[in-house]
């Protein structure tokens, strides 16, 4: 099993190209099930989750053609991939595939809308909370789906097609918003989704669906309106930049010091996180085609944050910000409101010397003058990269184990950091 070995202490200087967003790529790929024409996605990142979803889509009959370099070590040119679901050969998404990645459950929306039926295993994924599927089920039922759960599978039917309706989510859910929006594109009549997720990835999916012929307004706000159409066509769409990757590298610069330009990204995708970084003492400015992050040798200032749905502070950057605060000159508090079990990285940061205490959903971080390298264990995707950030600033050697979590969401991480002066390498046993 691969490990990441880090020798800390080097500032970061140079340019880091930001990849296409994993959280946008996955629903965009799934949208290919809605049409028998070809959907072409540009700027698709090369990640384990993307490869896994390709296998799942292939199981349904999607033909996939990759253009561009494929190997992780190759240059930063993003891939272009063609998805053609001319014939859906199977409307079942089996346990052995869905259990490996939660987002694969989202195929239920397009399959139900296009084929009138879907049998999808209850999902798996990171162990960062319960994340129940009731929001998905109730939303699809509002569109007329008949749903029953049997032997670990959700069996959904709409033999006469889905019908537009007004549905209000009891709580904000990005995944459920994706699914209901995709399903509603082929429903009869008008669908209005209230309390919809406002994340940039939702707006990106809506832009792609619109290019495919869907009639969608309001994406990026709390109310999304979809006028159903009889069919969708193919389209060409570029995946938006990964705001979580952007924030992660920005926090790495703030922690190690240095001067890095994050290319092919935009600050409006993560304004709240960048405000927190500035408060912590980093100099963050917009430049043509990206963001420049600088941090001198001054102290890291403590900043309190609360995670919230967009446009709030992203839960997917909470672990990284905690790593940064572990070196702050003072005490910071982080309140996690999205997932109830997303502090598993705390004990691993403590192995590096961080002083963190937990009380319910609040973490109190007493900044320390130095961290010291150690063996640590990744517990989930975002926690794993927080350990990399901490290792970059720690004295001596840090080894991050179970890095398959990293491969799910960060493209060519070692290469990007090494080119900016970090001492990071992948070690294979």
**17 annotated as a binding-site residue:** no
Annotated catalytic residue within 18, 21, 120, 126: 126
The DSSP 8-state label assigned to residue 248 in this structure reads: H
401 is in an annotated binding site: no
> Is residue 271 part of an annotated ligand binding site?
no
Q: Is 324 annotated as a binding residue?
A: no
Q: Can you spell out the DSSP letters for 202-230?
A: HHHHHHHHHHTT-EEE-BTBSEEEEE--S
What is the CB neighbour count within 10 angstroms for residue 126? 20
SS3 sequence of 325-349? HCCECCEEEEECCCCCCCCCCHHHH
Biggest alpha carbon–alpha carbon distance for the chain: 65
Q: 337 forms bridges with which residues in the sheet? A: none
Does 376 appear as a known binding residue? no
User: Is 274 labeled as ligand-binding?
Assistant: no
Say if residue 385 carries a ligand binding annotation: no
The helix or strand, by DSSP H or E, that contains position 170, with its residue range, turns out to be none
Task: Name the region of 207 (left: φ>0; alpha: ψ -120 to 50; beta: rest).
Answer: alpha
For residue 126, indicate whether it is catalytic. yes
Is 74 labelled as part of a ligand binding site? no
> Is residue 173 marked as binding?
yes
Cα→Cα distances 278→253, 271, 286, 325, Å: 12, 11, 13, 13
H/E stretch holding 262 reads strand 258-263
Exposed / middle / buried, residue 399 (Cβ in 10 Å: 0-12, 13-18, 19+) = middle
In angstroms, rounded to a whole number, what is the distance separating the alpha carbons of residues 212 and 206?
A: 10
286 labelled binding-site residue: no
174 is in an annotated binding site: yes
DSSP string, 92-106: EE-HHHHTT-GGGGG
Distance CA 268, CA 38 (A): 31
The DSSP 8-state label assigned to residue 78 in this structure reads: P
Please indicate if the annotation marks 160 as binding a ligand: no
| Residue 188 marked in a binding site | no
Q: Is 89 annotated as a binding residue?
A: no
Q: Which residues are annotated as a binding site for UDP-N-acetyl-alpha-D-glucosamine?
A: 102, 131-135, 171-174, 316, 338
In the annotated binding site, the residues are 22-23, 102, 131-135, 171-174, 316, 338
Q: List residues forming the annotated binding site for phosphoenolpyruvate.
A: 22-23
Task: Give catalytic residue positions.
Answer: 126
């Amino acid at each position: 099993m691969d490990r990441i070995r880090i020798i800390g202490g080097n500032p970061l200087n140079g340019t880091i190209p930001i990849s296409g967003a994993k959280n946008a790529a996955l629903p965009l790929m799934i949208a290919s099930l809605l049409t028998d024409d070809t959907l072409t996605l540009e700027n698709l990142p090369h990640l384990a989750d993307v490869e896994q979803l390709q296998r799942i889509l292939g199981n349904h009959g999607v033909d996939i053609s990759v253009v561009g370099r494929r190997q992780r070590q190759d240059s930063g040119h993003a891939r272009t991939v063609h998805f053609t679901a001319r014939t859906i050969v199977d409307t079942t998404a089996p346990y052995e595939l869905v259990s490996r990645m939660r987002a694969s459950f989202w195929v239920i929306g397009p399959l139900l809308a296009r084929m009138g039926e879907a049998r999808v295993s209850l999902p798996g994924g990171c162990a960062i909370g319960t994340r129940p599927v009731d929001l998905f089920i109730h939303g699809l039922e509002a569109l007329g789906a008949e749903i029953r759960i049997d032997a670990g599978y959700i069996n959904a039917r709409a033999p006469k097609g889905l019908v537009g309706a007004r549905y209000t989510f009891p709580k904000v859910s990005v995944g459920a918003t994706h699914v209901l929006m995709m399903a509603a594109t082929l429903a009869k009549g008008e669908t209005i989704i209230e309390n919809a997720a406002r994340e940039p990835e939702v707006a990106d999916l809506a832009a792609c669906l619109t290019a495919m012929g869907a009639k969608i307004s309001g994406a990026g706000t709390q109310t999304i309106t979809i006028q159903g159409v009889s069919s969708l066509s193919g389209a060409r769409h570029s995946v938006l930049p990964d705001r979580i990757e952007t924030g992660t590298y920005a926090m790495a610069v703030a922690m190690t010091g240095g001067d890095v330009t994050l290319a092919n990204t935009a600050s409006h995708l993560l304004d709240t996180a960048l405000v927190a970084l500035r408060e912590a003492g980093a100099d963050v400015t917009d430049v043509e085609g990206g963001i420049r992050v600088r941090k001198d040798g001054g102290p890291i200032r403590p900043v309190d944050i609360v995670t919230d749905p967009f446009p709030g502070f992203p839960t997917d950057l909470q672990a990284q910000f905690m790593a940064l605060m572990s070196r702050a000159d003072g005490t910071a508090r982080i309140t996690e409101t999205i997932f109830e079990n997303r502090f598993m990285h705390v004990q691993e940061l403590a192995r590096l010397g961080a002083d963190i205490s937990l009380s319910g959903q609040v973490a109190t971080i007493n900044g320390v003058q130095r961290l010291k390298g150690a063996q640590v264990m990744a517990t989930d995707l975002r926690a794993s990269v927080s350990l990399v950030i901490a290792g970059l600033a720690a004295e001596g050697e840090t080894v991050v184990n179970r890095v398959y979590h990293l491969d799910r969401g960060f493209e060519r991480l070692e290469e990007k950091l090494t080119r900016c002066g970090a001492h990071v390498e992948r070690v294979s046993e």
